[in-house]
Each structure stands twice: as structure tokens, then as C-alpha cells.
């Protein structure tokens, strides 16, 4: 059974995706941990850093946002061409200028948000790109005939100059559902364009934060029910479901939902940096602002065959647990894994393949690279929400 629990506690929402009574995703939504991702602002250019080809933008939030020159110039189809433009950023913008931007990467402890003029309005079936005249598809849609038909259908509806990313959900959706979502996102963009304001910086579109993003992303993937514990959240969720045309069952249970499924106990394990494996081995997770380091250890596991096979078994079990923890803890950015050294090339390749397969359950993109000369496996993951 797949459930989304939204537990309001001390003026903050704790959001849990539960599969068979186990937490697989966990987010926190509050004023303190407010998610800016997807919000659109008329920002004010605060200052320009020519040496970095970048600028800082005042959004009216507590930290100025960062924008690179390539996010000011017209968007290129990065699958076909590389970014090249010699125009200095000082010729594109100047301090005090208004700039329409979307938050692409939320703020961190010491860093402000990353923003772009390349707007992307997230819907159930597509991400509408009003200023990018090309259509691409989710890499998870692999059927070539389906890819071709979806691209032709969406391209025929979009006004000239607009583009879209067709999401995985569109693969199994009806033609009517896809058309409805495309039209809805176009109308949403028109309203944003027509927003009146007297002063800037000003927020002109609120994406709804991690709560709305999570519901949109999960509504079409066998979600059995959504459970909330306050009438206020019931109304919020009903409004989101109605807006996107969803049909998921919503239950109101006015009690502390963290008492269900030993959630409190499960959360305590999420906060620990050491995770024991069933075999007796363990992994440690150390998160810094620059990257996340994960170390794999044999621990108490001594195996019953040769050393190479013992090491492989621990590494394989660790790979499965690491994929689970990346999703559960919403770890993003650069991740470096120090697996126990293996000497057989076939075992090294099998571990990479196993990790790739385990990460398929993750709705965020995980890009796995090769092992380095120091036997470290590098990967990146896009963080869904910043905690």
C-alpha cells in the first residue's frame, strides 16, 4: 500500500511517503524550512560579478539569489549544442534592473537560491517552457513510437516560441488528459505575464512548495490515499487535487499521524549517520555543504567464502541501502561512495549496474559515474527539497 501522510505538528507539515508501512521519502514544510523551488519573482539586480559572469538578484527573501550569464541568455537545447556566447554579462543587465526569474535551486545554509530567466511551469504531464522553443521528453519514456507521437501531439498544441518537457506520466495518460494539462499550463503562464505590481522585488507566482510538488509528482503513480490530520491541510490538498484533475482518496484523521507505523522510531534512524546492514556490515553518511561522503564497512560480517566474494556481498547490500537512503534523506548534489576495494573488474561493473537498478525507484534523477583512480564512485542527484 502506498500512502502520503501530511502530519501538521507545531505549525509545520511533516510529509511522509509510506510504502508497506515504511517511510521511503520524508520532507519538512514550514516557514523556517520554506521551499522556494519553482517560485517566480520580479527580482532586482543587486550587483554584478563580471569575473564569474554572474550576478546577485534581490528576491525580497532573506538571501540574495545567484544567476549565471547562461541563465539570462536565451535557452539552448543542451542535447544538441553547447553553451557559447562571448557577450559580457554587463551588456545584458545592470544593477537596479528588474528581472523575471524562477528559483531553480533552493537556498542552503550559507548560500542563496539559484535562479534563471528560463521559466518552467510544472504540471502533471508536462513542464511548460514559455521562452524555450523546443520539446524534449523524459528519458524514462523509452518506447520510440510513443516518444514520437507524444512529441508531435504536444508540439501541435504549443504556441510558437514555447516549448515543453514531456513528463513520464504522459506515457500512460490519455490524449485528453495531456491536452488539458498543456492548455492549463499555457493559461497559467498568461496569468503570470499579466500580473500587476507597483514595486519590485516581488513574488508573482508561488509554486505551492514541497507539498504541492510532491502531490503532483505522485498522483499518477499508484498512490492509494492521502492522509491529513487538520482541516486546513484537507482544504489545501483538495484544492491541489482539484487544480490538477486528480482523483486520489483523501482521509482526515485528527490525531498525531507520527504514531502510525512506528514513524517516530523510523525518523530517529534517519537522523543517524550510521546505518547497519543485515549482514553485519554498515555504512556511514557524512553530509557537508560541498558534497556527501558515504563509507562502506564490513563491520561484523566475515562471510563464508573467499575474501573477494565477502567484499562483493557487503558492497551489493550497501548499494541497495545507499539508494534507499539517498531517496529517504533527499540527499542531493555531489555524492562520493567509498565502497570496500574490489579487485575483479566484473564485480566493480556489477556494483555500478546494481546501484543503477536500485536507484530506478527514485523519482529524482541520479547520475552515476565511473570509479575514480582512488576507487571512489562518484554520482550526482537532484535534491527534491531542501531541509
113-122, 217-226, 303-312, 375-384: which range is least confident on average? 303-312
pTM, two decimals, is 0.81
**Strands 333-338 vs 291-297: parallel, antiparallel or unpaired:** parallel
Helix (H, G, I), strand (E, B) or coil at 122: strand
CB contact burial 216-236 (16+ within 10 A = b; e otherwise): bbbbbeebeebbbbbeebbeb
| Element of type H or E holding 155 | helix 144-157
pLDDT digits (tens, 9 = 90+) for 271-286: 889 999 988 889 999 9
Residue 294: beta bridge partners?
285, 337
**Residues 284-325: tens digit of each pLDDT:** 999 987 899 999 998 776 656 678 888 899 999 999 999 999
| pLDDT per residue as tens digits for the range 91-128 | 999 999 999 999 998 887 678 889 999 999 999 999 99
pLDDT of residue 7: 94
The answer for residues whose C-beta is within 8 angstroms of residue 360's C-beta and 6 or more apart is none
CA–CA separation, 28 vs 325, rounded Å?
A: 16
What is the grid cell recorded at 80?
Answer: 544538441
Amino acid at each position: 500500500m502506498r500512502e502520503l501522510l501530511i502530519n501538521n505538528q507545531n505549525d509545520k507539515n511533516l510529509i511522509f511517503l509510506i510504502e508497506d508501512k515504511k517511510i521511503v521519502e520524508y520532507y519538512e514544510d514550514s516557514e523556517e524550512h520554506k521551499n522556494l523551488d519553482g517560485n517566480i519573482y520580479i527580482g532586482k539586480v543587486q550587483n554584478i560579478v563580471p569575473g564569474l559572469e554572474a550576478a546577485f538578484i534581490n528576491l525580497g527573501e532573506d538571501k540574495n539569489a545567484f544567476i549565471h550569464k547562461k541563465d539570462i541568455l536565451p535557452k539552448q537545447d543542451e542535447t544538441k549544442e553547447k553553451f557559447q556566447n562571448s557577450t559580457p554579462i554587463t551588456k545584458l543587465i545592470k544593477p537596479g534592473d528588474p528581472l523575471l526569474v524562477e528559483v531553480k535551486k533552493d537556498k542552503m545554509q550559507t548560500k542563496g537560491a539559484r535562479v534563471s530567466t528560463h521559466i518552467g511551469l510544472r504540471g502533471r504531464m508536462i513542464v511548460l517552457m514559455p521562452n524555450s522553443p523546443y520539446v524534449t521528453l523524459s528519458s524514462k519514456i523509452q518506447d520510440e513510437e510513443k516518444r514520437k507521437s507524444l512529441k508531435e501531439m504536444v508540439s501541435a498544441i504549443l504556441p510558437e516560441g514555447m516549448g515543453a518537457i514531456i513528463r513520464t506520466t504522459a506515457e500512460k495518460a490519455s490524449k485528453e488528459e495531456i491536452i488539458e494539462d498543456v492548455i492549463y499550463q499555457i493559461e497559467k503562464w498568461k496569468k503570470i505575464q499579466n500580473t500587476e505590481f507597483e514595486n519590485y522585488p516581488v513574488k508573482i507566482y508561488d509554486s505551492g512548495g514541497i507539498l504541492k510538488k510532491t502531490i503532483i509528482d505522485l498522483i499518477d503513480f499508484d498512490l492509494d490515499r492521502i492522509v491529513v490530520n487538520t482541516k486546513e491541510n484537507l482544504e489545501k490538498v483538495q484544492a491541489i487535487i482539484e487544480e490538477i484533475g486528480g482523483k486520489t482518496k483523501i482521509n482526515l484523521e485528527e490525531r498525531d499521524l507520527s504514531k502510525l507505523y512506528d514513524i517516530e522510531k523510523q525518523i530517529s534512524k534517519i537522523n543517524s549517520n550510521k546505518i547497519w546492514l543485515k549482514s553485519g556490515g554498515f555504512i556511514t553518511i557524512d553530509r557537508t555543504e560541498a558534497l556527501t561522503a558515504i563509507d562502506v564497512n564490513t563491520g561484523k560480517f566475515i562471510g563464508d567464502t573467499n575474501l573477494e566474494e565477502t567484499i562483493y556481498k557487503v558492497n551489493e547490500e550497501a548499494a541497495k541501502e545507499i539508494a534507499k537512503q539517498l531517496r529517504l534523506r533527499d540527499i542531493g548534489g555531489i555524492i562520493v561512495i567509498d565502497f570496500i576495494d574490489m579487485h575483479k573488474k566484473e564485480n566493480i561493473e556489477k556494483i555500478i549496474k546494481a546501484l543503477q537498478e536500485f536507484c530506478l525507484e527514485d523519482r529524482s534523477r541520479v547520475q552515476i559515474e565511473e570509479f575514480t583512480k582512488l576507487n571512489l564512485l562518484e554520482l550526482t542527484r537532484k535534491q527534491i527539497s531542501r531541509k
